[in-house]
Amino acid sequence: MSANDNVKWVRLGDYIELCDERNSDGKYAVDDVRGISTDKKFIPTKANMDGVSLSSYKIVNNREFAYVADTSRRGDKIALALNTTSSILISSIYTTFKSKDNKELLPEYLFLLLSRSEFDRYARFNSWGSARETFDWSELCRVEIPLPDINIQKELVDIYNGLKALAEQNEALIEPLSKACEAFIVDCKAKYPEVILGEYIEELTEKNKDNLYSKVLGLSTQKEFREPNSRVNKEELTNYKLVPNNCFAYVPTTDTWKVFACALNKEETIVVSPIYCVFKINNSNLLSEYLNVLFKPAEFDRYVRFNSWGSARENFNFGELCNVRIALPPIKNQQSVINLYNCLEEAKKIASEARDKLKELCPALIQRAANS
């Protein structure tokens, strides 16, 4: 929370004030009680509310803040949130406050400042106590913040909220798309005949004997190719297996990760560890991406674990994979499953990237405020 002589920095305590409105008239009920998370959100309370009187509980109105002064055992984060909904109730031990003048200090702008990991570290460093360390009201008031013109505050908040909305919109799509994809697969199982997978795939054992390929990848529990964890001598890859485009590779050993670590190569030829099993589809009636979708569910992981054999190490060998039975709908139906799954993955990707950018954006916005 450092200051710059070229910008307007102010003492936060001059712009905020405590709130202490209580639920003395019983206007709000148990359903209105919330807790506060270190993710800077109000959350459903985890406390047992049976027989608890709510008359002493504090009311947090729209655009008001609350935080937990006790910073011990919270993973070096402070539990703080801004209420963006209708009025709620919180425990009387929490501290509630608000901006004295929303036309001078925008609550949403202040929330950007207080949401940063830098503020978490500041709050922990300035927490005091023996049995429990607390970041009390006086310490919060001593914080110095950059205070640009209100229009600049609004602009910064709008930029942040735009990216946040993009993340939330795509996160909201994930569950319904996931359920729709699962339902589509279940429907295929009910409508179309099952086939033995071994009649549609063949194992590949070609090695990188001429050392022509140098892109080495491993496999992850997320069922994706990734950079290998172990050191690899890229000058000597002749014993490594080739995975051409549109072919699969998987880890036969299943007792370590407990999942079927398998991925479809959608890029140019890569090389993988010689212990991996590599295979391809050899029948035009089965699309590789459709099969890849069938490998994703936890249900298939459980099937693989149940059918893994061995003493020191349990393996799901290629012979067992060939025994798998799958529903085989017409190509157009397979493509529909693929399209739905790709929409799901795109929503996950956009949401994840937006969240990552939010982490980078917040400090950048604050820096802009400091330099305005």
DSSP letters along 213-258, please? Answer: ---B-EE-TTS-EE--SS---TT--TTSEEE-TT-EEE-SB-TTTS
Rounded CA gap, 318 and 64, in Å? 60
In a domain, 363, yes or no: no
pLDDT band at 6 (very low <50, low <70, confident <90, very high): low
Segment 350-365 shows an average pLDDT of: 87
In a domain, 169, yes or no: no
Segment 278-306 shows an average pLDDT of: 96
How much is the pTM? 0.77
Residue ranges with strand state E in the chain:
9-11, 16-19, 34-36, 42-44, 58-60, 65-67, 80-82, 88-90, 95-99, 144-146, 194-196, 201-204, 218-219, 225-226, 241-243, 248-250, 262-264, 270-272, 277-281, 325-327
Q: Are residues 23 and 132 in the same domain?
A: yes
Token representation of residue 317: 């060998």
- Mode of pairing for the β-strands spanning 80-82 and 65-67: antiparallel
Segment 301-322 shows an average pLDDT of: 93
pLDDT at 72: 81
Q: Are residues 18 and 137 in the same domain?
A: yes
Q: How high is the mean pLDDT of the chain?
A: 92
CATH classification at residue 226:
3.90.220.20
The yes-or-no verdict on residue 273 having pLDDT over 80 is yes
pLDDT at 328: 97
Between residues 370 and 341, which one has the greater pLDDT? 341
DSSP state of 311: S
In a domain, 365, yes or no: no
Domain end point (choices 113, 132, 147): 147
Token representation of residue 278: 């590599």
Q: Are residues 100 and 221 in the same domain?
A: no
Q: Are residues 134 and 203 in the same domain?
A: no
In a domain, 372, yes or no: no
pLDDT band at 130 (very low <50, low <70, confident <90, very high): confident
pLDDT at 71: 87
The yes-or-no verdict on residue 5 having pLDDT over 70 is no
Q: Are residues 134 and 197 in the same domain?
A: no
Q: Are residues 52 and 123 in the same domain?
A: yes
In a domain, 103, yes or no: yes
Q: Are residues 51 and 139 in the same domain?
A: yes
pLDDT band at 2 (very low <50, low <70, confident <90, very high): very low
Rounded CA gap, 193 and 180, in Å? 21
- Mode of pairing for the β-strands spanning 88-90 and 58-60: antiparallel
φ, ψ of residue 282 in degrees (nearest 5): -120, 20
Q: Are residues 140 and 213 in the same domain?
A: no
Domain tally, the chain: 2
Token representation of residue 131: 């049995």
Segment 42-56 shows an average pLDDT of: 92
Rounded CA gap, 255 and 75, in Å? 32
Distances (CA, A) of 50 to 30, 53, 59: 9, 9, 19
In a domain, 4, yes or no: no
pLDDT band at 372 (very low <50, low <70, confident <90, very high): low
pLDDT at 3: 45
Name the one residue in this structure whose structure tokens are 């639920």.
23
Domain end point (choices 147, 182, 211): 147
Q: Are residues 321 and 239 in the same domain?
A: yes
Domain end point (choices 328, 345, 362): 328
In the chain, pLDDT over 70 holds for what percent of residues? 98
In a domain, 322, yes or no: yes
Segment 233-250 shows an average pLDDT of: 93
- Which range of residues forms the domain containing residue 88? 9-147
Q: Are residues 74 and 128 in the same domain?
A: yes
Between residues 362 and 317, which one has the greater pLDDT? 317
In the chain, pLDDT over 90 holds for what percent of residues? 80
pLDDT at 256: 84
Distances (CA, A) of 277 to 134, 209, 253, 318: 55, 17, 10, 7
Q: Are residues 13 and 137 in the same domain?
A: yes
pLDDT band at 330 (very low <50, low <70, confident <90, very high): very high
The partner residues of 84 in beta bridges, in order of sequence, read: none
pLDDT at 263: 98
Q: Which amino acid is at 139?
A: E
Segment 38-66 shows an average pLDDT of: 94
Of how many residues is the chain composed?
A: 372
The yes-or-no verdict on residue 358 having pLDDT over 60 is yes
Segment 337-355 shows an average pLDDT of: 96
Query: Which of 294-316 are b and which e, b meaning 16 or more Cβ less than 10 Å from the residue's Cβ?
Result: bbbeeebbeebbeebeeeeebbb
pLDDT at 235: 76
Q: Are residues 130 and 27 in the same domain?
A: yes
In a domain, 262, yes or no: yes
**Least-confidence region, from 200-214, 229-243, 264-278:** 229-243
pLDDT digits (tens, 9 = 90+) for 78-93: 999 999 999 999 999 9
**Least-confidence region, from 130-134, 153-157, 221-225:** 130-134
pLDDT at 4: 46
Q: Which CB contacts under 8 angstroms, 24+ apart, belong to 299-302?
A: 300/260, 301/258, 301/259, 301/260
